[in-house]
Amino acid sequence: MKRDFGESGRLRAPAADAGLLSSITPVFQPHRTTQIRSPYEVNETLWQAMPAEARRRVGDSMFRARTFEPADRREFKADPRSFGVTVAVVHFSGTRISASALRRSMAMNVAEPGVGSYTFGLRKRGTLSIAGSEGAGHGTWGVGTGVLYREREGMRVITSDNHAGLAFELPYARITAILQGLLERPVTRELVFKPSFSFETEPGASVARVVAYIEQELSIPGSLLATGSGAQAIEDLLIRTLLTAQGHNYSDWLQRAPGSGAPYHVQRVEEYMRMHAHEPLNLEQLAATAGCGLRSLQMAFRKYRGRTPLEALRRLRLEQAHREIMDRGAGQSIIEIATKYHFSNLGRFADQYRALFGYLPSQTPRRF
Tell me 171's DSSP state. E
Instruction: Give the span between the Cα atoms of 352 and 347, in whole angstroms.
Output: 9
Q: What is the mean pLDDT of residues 187-199?
A: 92
Question: Please, what is the average pLDDT of the chain?
Answer: 85
Most distant CA pair in the chain, distance: 75
What is the CATH T-level fold of the domain 263-363, as seen in this structure? Arc Repressor Mutant, subunit A (1.10.10)
- Whether the pLDDT of residue 348 is over 90: the answer is yes
pLDDT, tens digit, 9 for 90 and up, residues 266-324:
888 988 898 899 999 999 999 998 888 899 999 999 888 888 999 999 999 998 898 88
- pTM for the whole structure: 0.67
Give the integer Cα–Cα distance in Å for 181 and 179: 5
* Rounded Cα gap, residues 133 and 209, in angstroms: 31
Could you count the other beta carbons within 10 Å of the beta carbon of residue 293?
10
pLDDT at 16: 38
* Positive or negative torsion for Cα 336, 339, 345, 350: negative
User: What phi and psi values does residue 199 have, to the nearest 5 degrees?
Assistant: -85, -5
Q: Which pLDDT belongs to residue 159?
A: 96
What confidence score (pLDDT) does residue 205 get?
92
Is pLDDT above 60 for 258?
no
* pLDDT value, residue 15: 38
* Right CATH for 15-245 from 3.40.50.2300, 1.10.10.1100, 2.60.120.10, 3.40.50.80: 2.60.120.10
Q: What is the pLDDT of residues 1-53, one digit of tens each?
A: 333 333 333 334 343 355 678 889 999 988 888 999 999 999 888 888 777 77
Q: What is the pLDDT of residue 306?
A: 85
State the average pLDDT over residues 251-278: 79
For 189-208, the DSSP string reads: S---B-SEEESSSTTHHHHH
Distance between CA atoms of residues 352 and 318, nearest Å: 8
Stretch 139-163: mean pLDDT:
94
169 — pLDDT class (breaks 50, 70, 90)? very high
Q: Per mean pLDDT, which range of 143-147, 241-245, 255-259 is the poorest?
A: 255-259
Structure confidence by residue, pLDDT tens digits, 117-138: 899 999 999 999 999 876 567 8
Is residue 162 predicted with pLDDT exceeding 90?
yes
**Overall average pLDDT of the 176-195 stretch:** 86
Residue 154 per-residue DSSP state:
T
Kindly tell me if the per-residue pLDDT of 115 is higher than 70.
no
**Domain boundaries defined on the chain:** 15-245, 263-363
Q: Do domains 15-245 and 263-363 have the same CATH topology?
A: no
